[in-house]
Amino acid sequence: MKQVIAVMASVMLIGSSLQAQNDDVLVKITPDIPYLYVTHMGQKVKIGRIQDTTNRLTDDYTKTSRACPPFCIHPTKVNDKVKTIAEVEMAHFLKKKVNSGKGVVIDARLKSWYELETIPSAVNIPYTVMDSGTKKTAEKVFRLLGMQIRKDGSWDFSKAKELAVFDNGVWCDQSRRLIDGLLKYGYPAQKIVYYRDGFQGWKLLGLTTVVQKENVK
């Protein structure tokens, strides 16, 4: 609790100096958002973009030709009822929903990928958990996401968090499989969004990532 208050106080202090520095940021996230702060595993993290205009992506996310099938390009929508979003919407989601506790970014990849490198503030729900999960598993996951169980045993999603789900990129089907699993057990579609560009899109725009374990991949 003390840590949360300390973080809040420091965020407010920094917030006022942000305005002055606003104009110094060459590569902003959006015209109104030069950078933003989130909490990742209890630590405050600044999400911004790499400021070096000559910087290029050179890692495996520049590979163009993963075999299809199985790594086929996804359509724009993963499901008719689930909205597809991109980076600008992610920035607003982080600022407004995640920071107020109403939303969560979900990394749908396997734990090893999440630990290697992920989007700041993201929580890991590997797609396999919901893909082959039981109703019992779903209940556990949903409770963590704010679902409540009524006296009659039915599930109340009114306080359940809004979720922004991502995986490796447009050719990765793990988000879809996680989302299908969530919908199957009743998570409200209007509370789920699909960040289609995923980790590849995030890195391609030089956005901040958190590296948790050094790993050769």
Interface residue with its own copies, options 37, 93, 171, 199 (CB under 8 A): 171
How far are the Cα atoms of 67, 136, 183, 201 from residue 132, in angstroms, in the given order? 24, 12, 13, 28
Interface residue with its own copies, options 3, 21, 62, 212 (CB under 8 A): 62
Compute the least distance from the CB of residue 92 to its own copies, in Å: 9
Q: Cα separation of 190 and 192, whole Å? A: 6
For the window 175-214, what string marks contact with its own copies as x by the rule CB under 8 A? ---------------------xx--xx-xxxx--------
For residue 172, give every residue at least 6 positions away whose Cβ sits within 8 Å of its Cβ, in sequence order, or none: 71, 74, 109, 198
Q: Is 116 one of the binding residues for its own copies (CB under 8 A)? A: no
Q: Cα separation of 124 and 118, whole Å? A: 9
* Two tokens, residue 181: 């699993």
Q: How many residues of this chain interact with its own copies, rule: CB under 8 A?
A: 45
Q: Which of 92, 95, 90, 128 is nearest to 109 (CA)?
A: 128
Q: Is 75 one of the binding residues for its own copies (CB under 8 A)? A: yes
State the residues that interact with its own copies by CB under 8 A. 26-31, 49-58, 62-69, 72-76, 84-89, 170-171, 196-197, 200-201, 203-206
